[in-house]
Structure 1
Amino acid sequence: MSTSVKEFSKVWWTEVYNRIIGAVVILDESAAECLHWDGGLYNLLNGGAVAVNRLSPFQSCKPEQKKVVFITQTTQIQLRTISDILRTCDFTHCILISTVSLDVVYLELNDGLKNANDVVASGKAGMEAVKMLEKMLVGWMKEKQPITEVVYIPIFTISPTNNVFLMPPYQYVYPKFDKKLITSAPTLDLYTLNSDERSEVRRLASALNSMMQSMNMREDIYHIGPFSSLIAGILENSPVYVSRRKMCTNPVSLIFVDRTLDLCGVTSHSTESVLDKVMAVLPRFPGHCTDVAVDMSPLCEAKVVTHPNDMQLSPGCLYHADDEASVQTYDHMINKSQKEVMFDLHNKLSKLDVQMSPGLKTLLKVTPQSVEKIITASKGNYDVISKHLGILQQSLGVVQALKSPKGVQLELLSNLEKQVLQSIAASRESTSILHQMRIIIRSRKERKLSIENLLALLIHIYSLSDSEVIFNKQHEENLEQSLIMAVLEEFKTLFDDRERNYTPKDCEMKAKEIMCYLKEISQMRKPIQRYHSVLKPCDAGTGHEYRGVLQQLVDDLVNTDRPDLVDLQHRNDGIKDLLRTGLNILTSKRKSSKHPLDNPTVLLFVVGGVTAEECKQLHRSVITSGVDTVVLIGSTKFVTPVEAMRDVFNL
């Protein structure tokens, strides 16, 4: 069995390429991002596509173009867009590739139908969805007898490294219950969520099921956190997934963890990972949630005024699937130190065939300036640029991030985090950290700190402190007043609807909402036992350090002593296990006989995003433990502190 998610993705992209010969290919943004990580636009053009466009109701095609292939998530909105396109074009052949399971599409097309779930359970939903969609396509096309095809191809994963995979189409899935971090429902099921959240969870569970099926995996399911329990419950109990599991032969332990149990890791500005630093500084590549936009003007003659909004010059990016040297460097940006990444970039750039380029030197230190000097020697030399475009884009991205004024802000925020950690560890109930934060928020402009980063720091503080720390009530009230003023002054930075004028009353309500979220964050780990605290004494014996829930969990997983994983609930521990224990359950605490390392592969999936730094540390723990188990780390996306803050506060 191949445990490579990258291979899983490649196999299914091959199925896509087999269908695009002579066709206009129209993709949604999620499919386009996944394509980028498989090789990009040229994979489609070299595979026979006559044109490639984004999914838009304003899309038009030439009269001679008769075949179209849509690659979409098949949402109701996307189907309306497809309808608009087909009604205005002269296609005679239409293929709809759904990147979401047709079972889920059937449920959404028949929302409210009483027997829809029964049709899914019977295994007929996929075929019924095909019939419905093909009928729609025929009705929208001008041709009287068009050729139509509807097929499900699971395109939803990207693989930054061999042991890490992300699912960008599900970037908005987050551990919330109708926009609340803590559910008030006494029991949890899918209907605890609102309809949009319910649909997203179904789609994510279905995607993971398809991945397991393609990789012939039979999973034992574990989870920590209420939202993860919902996803685990769908995978465990859905008749279609139960039937699939009976057919698969390769055992794997699938562990779901709620991101909200530990928000310290994703709101920390203290990172050694170069990728995290670059993502925190540079804007996102248009339409992507994982790659960044690199200003390419230092290599070109074009005069760019407002990158990335100036569209006369296309932005560069970090990942280049068809360039082995670039793939290796991207891996280094996650798993190596900044010093090692800079030496790697310098060595690769020094080999470029540029007359003005400095030769390979023995350096004690490589600075952004020394790397930039080699890059600028390539300016205007388009033969060299075209041959080494991948490494040049990566080098420019790293240089621009490390030279950015935002780097100084990140360093200041990192120092503040260290002060916060020691203050909370030392004083507990008597901590005055909120009073200090109030002063920092009021003086943020003088310190050149953004309100977004300071809100992320507040999440970091409350998640770090957990329910053991009781903040001074007066300090919290004063902090709330400072937040009201900050929101009023910077609503254009914080909110998407920037044109709206926010009143003082609106800002007061938003500040109160933020304070409610912060108090909920401090209670998130209250129900768990072993990983309740993320503040641990340093090995050196002085002070404390942050050790996240994910880190503690993985350390316990690979511990040869196999400590009792009391917080890791095993979905398969059902009534059969209770019956096996007999009357002993009345007199003894039942312990699961299963352990995740009983299987040769462990798949740890974090719902709500991870950082590159976390992936590096978790992978390092597995490697140094010496266990033979393959541990894959999966999540919905890579996140920065500001993005994590926006996920939590609904901004």
Structure 2
Amino acid sequence: MLTAEGLSAFSRQVWDKVLSKVKKAVVFMDDSCTECMHWNGAMASLLEAGARDLKQFSSFESGGENEPKAVFVVSTLLKGRTANIIRDIIRLSHFQYCVVFTAVSHSVHLLANDVSADLDGNPVFEQFEEKLCEWMGNMNFTAEVMHCPLLFAPVASQLVLLPAFGDLFPLLTDDLETINAKRPEKKRLGSLSDVDMHCLPRELQIQIKTLTSGLNAMFEFADVREESFALGPMSRLIAGELANHPQSKARRKSAPNKASIVFIDRTLDLTGAVGHHGDSLVEKILTVLPPLPGHRCDVQVDLLELTHLPHTPETQRILAPGCLAQPQDGAARGLWEAMLGGRQKEAVMEVRRHLVEAASKENLPIKMSMGRVTGEQLLTLARLFRSSWGVLESHCGVLQLSMATAHTLTHPELSLWDSCLAFQRLLLQCADVRCEVSVSVQICEVSVSVQICEVSVSVQM
């Protein structure tokens, strides 16, 4: 079956293919793949596999004179801007061996290049290998290009995200008008339910085919034959594309395990994305803390409280921020699972319990307090660990999650959360009332409070 362990094993297997090629190499990786690696072992896994360095996928980066090998890991097609960046990096370097991993399958490259799918081998990848040798300046140098579905970020045992598709959004009425504008009047579509894959722009077709190719690879690994259900026009297209995937037809005939997959358009589930549910600690952390640069699923955690440095803008720039992802720390991983799945009160108490256990293990002077757990109490416990860098290193994962919790509970904007939750519930209760002046007045009042809070926060910064 496609269990939580199976999902993690699939993700590890995918990255093992990359790790097998990074020995003595400089690795260049785009943001989407970096975020997936962030939840799959982070940079430590690359260094343990023998990589010399990890650099941003940018035309302004390059390898050193004594670095003859490069590995490029991208989530996009090997054409256009992606190809240009690879070319620029190679021409600024002295590489003799280049390996390129792309999350886009060869069949999708054929579609993007208007090449027949009946050709033998991987002609698009083979042509790009020749370009790599040309850019390195010697056709006898070594170049490899291969597909690897580097799309999955296992945020938790029961939750996998796909950062590369964060911008993929369901079709709207305006999109139907755009599609019809390019069609003859007699062949114009009446509704979004009439749209098929061939009506979509080429870029959107490539996104959907890349998504379904990655899902098919995951199901192949788990020997699963899926039964798909779709809610919404975009979900219907994705489910249909998965069902018609050339490799999925053979898989469904022989796979011994069964699974159901439900596709839901985000326009039908917006309350889950923007609602103030009020009882999820992780939801509040993701809302109030600043995002980690280049990431969609993680935040920056200020760790200056764990040092003896003064809290100034200058010191903030010298200390790298913490984060929520701690894939190689067993204790932190367990705490993260509890924070993600439990109610806020239970999650905060679990954070305190982990801090107390870690402090007791290190014989630190603990001063327990009764009553409700507050952010200030968590900060006081966390400050005990700054007595030793060795102690900090041993419990770094738990401390990062604890500091994220503490800073969220003490954040100035958190007081507005309960107000927003109350208004949301009030609006739901009054949804069938034609005129409810009191609700409108309260919303206006909280809007003013939000503006005042934003001004005060900007002044403090």
Check if 1:21 corresponds to 2:16. Answer: no
Q: What is the alpha-carbon distance in structure 1 between the residues aligned to residue 217 and residue 13 of structure 2?
A: 13
Check if 1:90 corresponds to 2:94. Answer: yes
How do residues 544-555 of structure 1 correspond to structure 2 at under 5 angstroms? none
Q: What is the alpha-carbon distance in structure 1 between the residues aligned to residue 226 and residue 18 of structure 2?
A: 27
Shift of 1:306: 4.4
Shift of 1:442: 5.4
Alpha carbons of structure 1 residues 443 and 436: separation in structure 2 relative to 1, 3 Å? same
Shift of 1:81: 0.4
Partner residue in 1 for 2:264: 257
Q: Which residue, out of 41, 44, 59, partners 1:42?
A: 44
Check if 1:81 corresponds to 2:89. Answer: no
Shift of 1:250: 2.4
Check if 1:305 corresponds to 2:342. Answer: no
Shift of 1:162: 2.1
Partner residue in 2 for 1:102: 106
Deviation digits for residues 467-488 of structure 1 (CA, Å, limit 9, x no counterpart):
xxxxxxxxxxxxxxxxxxxxxx
Bigger proportion of residues as helix? 2
The letter for the 1-side match of 2:100 is L
Deviation digits for residues 554-613 of structure 1 (CA, Å, limit 9, x no counterpart):
xxxxxxxxxxxxxxxxxxxxxxxxxxxxxxxxxxxxxxxxxxxxxxxxxxxxxxxxxxxx
Q: Is the 8 A contact 1:20 1:48 kept in 2?
A: yes
Alpha carbons of structure 1 residues 51 and 270: separation in structure 2 relative to 1, 3 Å? same
Q: What is the alpha-carbon distance in structure 2 between the residues aligned to residue 444 and residue 2 of structure 1?
A: 45
Q: Which residue, out of 369, 373, 383, partners 1:376?
A: 383
Q: Is the 8 A contact 1:66 1:93 kept in 2?
A: yes
Deviation digits for residues 191-221 of structure 1 (CA, Å, limit 9, x no counterpart):
4433332322222122112211222222222
Check if 1:326 corresponds to 2:324. Answer: no
Q: Is the 8 A contact 1:178 1:197 kept in 2?
A: no
Count residues in correspondence: 438
Shift of 1:364: 4.3
Q: Is the 8 A contact 2:419 2:446 kept in 1?
A: no
Q: Which residue, out of 214, 220, 223, partners 1:207?
A: 214
Deviation digits for residues 117-138 of structure 1 (CA, Å, limit 9, x no counterpart):
xx33x4x476122212212212
Check if 1:414 corresponds to 2:421. Answer: yes
How do residues 360-399 of structure 1 correspond to structure 2 at under 5 angstroms? 361=368, 363-379=370-386, 381-399=388-406
Q: What is the alpha-carbon distance in structure 1 between the residues aligned to residue 262 and residue 293 of structure 2?
A: 32
Alpha carbons of structure 1 residues 388 and 51: separation in structure 2 relative to 1, 3 Å? same
The letter for the 2-side match of 1:448 is V
The letter for the 1-side match of 2:398 is I
Q: What is the alpha-carbon distance in structure 1 between the residues aligned to residue 313 and residue 443 of structure 2?
A: 29
Aligned-pair identity in percent equals 28
Cα-Cα RMSD: 2.7
Partner residue in 1 for 2:144: 149
Q: Which residue, out of 131, 151, 158, partners 2:153?
A: 158
Deviation digits for residues 2-55 of structure 1 (CA, Å, limit 9, x no counterpart):
532111101111111111111111111111111111111111011111111111
How do residues 121-520 of structure 1 correspond to structure 2 at under 5 angstroms? 122=118, 124=119, 127-177=122-172, 180=175, 185-186=189-190, 187-306=194-313, 310-350=316-356, 351-352=358-359, 357-358=365-366, 361=368, 363-379=370-386, 381-424=388-431, 428=432, 430-432=434-436, 436-437=439-440, 439=441, 443=445, 446-449=448-451
Q: Secondary structure at the match of 2:252?
A: helix
Q: Secondary structure at the match of 1:154?
A: coil
Deviation digits for residues 128-184 of structure 1 (CA, Å, limit 9, x no counterpart):
222122122122112341101111111111222222211111111111258649997
Q: Is the 8 A contact 2:289 2:301 kept in 1?
A: yes
Q: Is the 8 A contact 1:304 1:312 kept in 2?
A: no
Q: TM-score, normalised by structure 2?
A: 0.87
Gaps of 5+ in 1: 453-651
Q: What is the alpha-carbon distance in structure 1 between the residues aligned to residue 130 and residue 406 of structure 2?
A: 53
Q: Is the 8 A contact 1:24 1:69 kept in 2?
A: yes
Q: Secondary structure at the match of 1:420?
A: helix
The letter for the 1-side match of 2:40 is D
Partner residue in 2 for 1:55: 57
Q: Is the 8 A contact 1:175 1:181 kept in 2?
A: no
The letter for the 2-side match of 1:268 is G
Q: What is the alpha-carbon distance in structure 2 between the residues aligned to residue 327 and residue 176 of structure 1?
A: 37
Alpha carbons of structure 1 residues 440 and 384: separation in structure 2 relative to 1, 3 Å? same
Partner residue in 2 for 1:490: none
Q: Is the 8 A contact 1:157 1:166 kept in 2?
A: yes
Q: What is the alpha-carbon distance in structure 2 between the residues aligned to residue 39 and residue 197 of structure 1?
A: 31
Alpha carbons of structure 1 residues 357 and 105: separation in structure 2 relative to 1, 3 Å? farther
Q: Is the 8 A contact 2:27 2:55 kept in 1?
A: yes
Shift of 1:405: 1.0
Q: Is the 8 A contact 2:423 2:439 kept in 1?
A: no
Q: Is the 8 A contact 2:170 2:266 kept in 1?
A: yes
Q: What is the alpha-carbon distance in structure 1 between the residues aligned to residue 285 and residue 59 of structure 2?
A: 34
Q: Is the 8 A contact 1:205 1:231 kept in 2?
A: yes
Q: What is the alpha-carbon distance in structure 2 between the residues aligned to residue 442 and residue 244 of structure 1?
A: 56
Partner residue in 2 for 1:457: none
Shift of 1:413: 0.7
Q: TM-score, normalised by structure 1?
A: 0.63
Partner residue in 2 for 1:552: none
Shift of 1:445: 5.7
Q: Is the 8 A contact 1:304 1:313 kept in 2?
A: no
Alpha carbons of structure 1 residues 451 and 344: separation in structure 2 relative to 1, 3 Å? closer
The letter for the 2-side match of 1:131 is E
Q: What is the alpha-carbon distance in structure 1 between the residues aligned to residue 313 and residue 422 of structure 2?
A: 31
Q: Secondary structure at the match of 2:430?
A: helix
Q: What is the alpha-carbon distance in structure 1 between the residues aligned to residue 120 and residue 104 of structure 2?
A: 13
Deviation digits for residues 424-473 of structure 1 (CA, Å, limit 9, x no counterpart):
1xxx152436x844x56655563225899xxxxxxxxxxxxxxxxxxxxx
Q: What is the alpha-carbon distance in structure 1 between the residues aligned to residue 276 and residue 451 of structure 2?
A: 13
Q: What is the alpha-carbon distance in structure 1 between the residues aligned to residue 45 and residue 27 of structure 2?
A: 12
Q: Is the 8 A contact 2:151 2:163 kept in 1?
A: yes
Q: What is the alpha-carbon distance in structure 2 between the residues aligned to residue 130 and residue 2 of structure 1?
A: 31
Q: Between the two structures, name the one with larger relative contact order (CA 8 Å, sep ≥ 6).
A: 1
Partner residue in 2 for 1:524: none
Q: Is the 8 A contact 1:178 1:193 kept in 2?
A: no
Shift of 1:225: 0.9
The letter for the 1-side match of 2:339 is M
Q: Is the 8 A contact 2:423 2:443 kept in 1?
A: no
Q: What is the alpha-carbon distance in structure 1 between the residues aligned to residue 47 and residue 71 of structure 2?
A: 13
